[in-house]
Amino acid sequence: MRVESWMVREVSRPMVLAEREEAPGTGEVLVEVAGCGVCHTDLGFFYEAVPTRHPLPLTLGHEISGRVVAAGPGEEAWIGRDVVVPAVIPCGRCEACEAGRESICPEQVFPGNDVHGGFASHVRVPARGLCAVPDLGDPAVNPAGLDLATLSVVADAVSTPYQAILQSELARGDLAVFVGVGGVGGFGVQIAASLGAHVVAIDVDEGKLEALADRGAHLRLSASALDFRELKRAVKGFAAEHGSHSWRWRIYETSGTAAGQRTAFGLLGKGSYLGVVGYTPDKVKLRLSNLMALDATARGNWGCVPAHYPAIVELVLSGQVLLAPFVEQRPLSSINETFASVHARDVSRRVILTPDC
């Protein structure tokens, strides 16, 4: 099948539209893309020369939803089904997968990194791990009337904080602090609130904070208006009001900035937990001895294993996590202008690029 995609041929140079032929092999499917979200990771590959595992030229994009239109031997049952494609697809056979560590599978497929991604008319991916989407035309299933393109952000912006929250063992009544609430962090706020946590949102953009006022951000703190000591004092006061001792603090670094990482690490108290979700290539100077002195825990999170995706789709379709107010759709042909706008922080919502035809 003929595929059109936007190729990165050189870092920071405009992407170009190209054609190629694709045919799914054994264990693979070809997905007609409905939407593909623009992620901070894509910007890292494109602007900051973060190396991709597949050499350039490469089509980026790993937040993908669409419809299966062709399948390799053994996967024919997927044809015609609407799906969300996981951003990280483990092989399911290696020692890491068998040990329950699918996120670090050495054979994993990361669209837009290991293989051509979703800024295209179609994408060829492994069938393993695909998340089937229920009938969106059924009002009982989809009362909010979400379209398939909007569900693309489930593949990373929603699923990644979901897994980070599960790993932290966040429980009702715990304190959940999100440092950076654009995209991943904003959806994390909603997920944590749905679990009954007391949620604090911290960001430099007061507009992003206010957008979450009715979506679970019980305390909203502007990092541009408050210095670190004031931030920490406010967090401690809020925690005391709700009886959340420091060992019940779950702090999530979701800004992907050096400043955000320093803030998140500095907020750790005795027995607290830090989930590192955002990525920055910048080096950050931290005193790791704080982890020892506080008996605290820090853990990274890489994507989300496919097994969690059905539950996440249900959260979204049930309205416990809202997508529509926090995303916007643009035509795929605007990709170069859109990357520039997102990189310049001129966009407040998660952008989903949709094929022009």
pLDDT in tens, 235-245: 999 999 999 99
Q: Are strands 297-300 and 273-276 parallel, antiparallel or unpaired?
A: parallel
- Looking at residue 314, its amino acid is E
The arithmetic mean of pLDDT across residues 337-351, rounded, is 95
Q: Measured between alpha carbons, how far is residue 10 from residues 55, 60, 69, 116 in Å?
A: 10, 12, 31, 15
Q: What's residue 336's pLDDT?
A: 98
3-state secondary structure of 219: strand
- Cα–Cα distance for residue pair 226/157, rounded to 1 Å: 27
Looking at residue 85, its pLDDT comes to: 98
- CA 228, 321, 350 angle in degrees (round to 5)? 65
Contact 64, 118 (CB under 8 A): yes
Question: Which pLDDT score is estimated for 15?
Answer: 98
- Distances in Å between the Cα of 253 and the Cα atoms of 184, 256, 277, 279, 324 are 10, 7, 6, 9, 24
Fold agreement between 2-156+304-354 and 159-300: no
Inter-residue contact 191 to 167 (CB < 8 Å): no
Residue 357 pLDDT exceeds 90? no
- Report whether pLDDT(337) > 90: yes
Q: Is the pLDDT of residue 145 over 90?
A: yes
The answer for 80, left when phi > 0, alpha when psi is -120 to 50, beta otherwise, is left
pLDDT(350) > 90: yes
Q: Which fold has domain 2-156+304-354?
A: Quinone Oxidoreductase; Chain A, domain 1 (3.90.180)
Looking at 3.90.420.10, 2.60.40.10, 3.10.580.10, 3.40.50.720, the CATH number of the domain 159-300 comes to: 3.40.50.720
Per-residue model confidence as pLDDT tens digits over 70-86: 999 999 999 999 999 99
Task: Report the Cα 174 to chain-centroid distance in Å.
Answer: 23
Please give the Cα distance from 27 to 7 (Å, whole number). Answer: 25
Calpha distance 29→234 (Å, rounded): 50
The DSSP bridge partners found for residue 175 are: 198, 249
Segment 99-121 shows an average pLDDT of 97
Sequence spans of domains, the chain: 2-156+304-354, 159-300
Helix (H, G, I), strand (E, B) or coil at 95: helix
User: Which pLDDT does position 133 carry in this prediction?
Assistant: 98
In angstroms, the CA 145 to CA 129 distance is: 25
- Using CA atoms, how far apart are residues 140 and 110, in angstroms rounded to an integer? 33
Total Cβ atoms within 10 A of residue 142: 19
Quote the strand ranges of 16-158, DSSP E: 16-21, 28-37, 63-71, 82-85, 122-126, 131-132
Percentage of the chain modeled with pLDDT above 70? 100
The stretch 120-141 carries a mean pLDDT of 97
Query: How much is the mean pLDDT over the chain?
Result: 97
CA 217 to chain centre: 19
pTM of the shown model:
0.96
Predicted pLDDT at 19: 96
Model confidence pLDDT, tens digit, residues 19-57: 999 999 999 999 999 999 999 999 999 999 899 999 999
Give the C-alpha separation, 347 to 338, whole Å: 9
Q: For 164-198, how does the pLDDT look when each residue is reduced to its tens digit (9 = 90+)?
A: 999 999 999 999 999 999 899 999 999 999 999 99
Instruction: State the Cα–Cα distance between residues 275 and 261, nearest whole angstrom.
Output: 10
- Within 10 angstroms of residue 261's Cβ, the number of other Cβ atoms is 22
Per-residue pLDDT, 281: 87
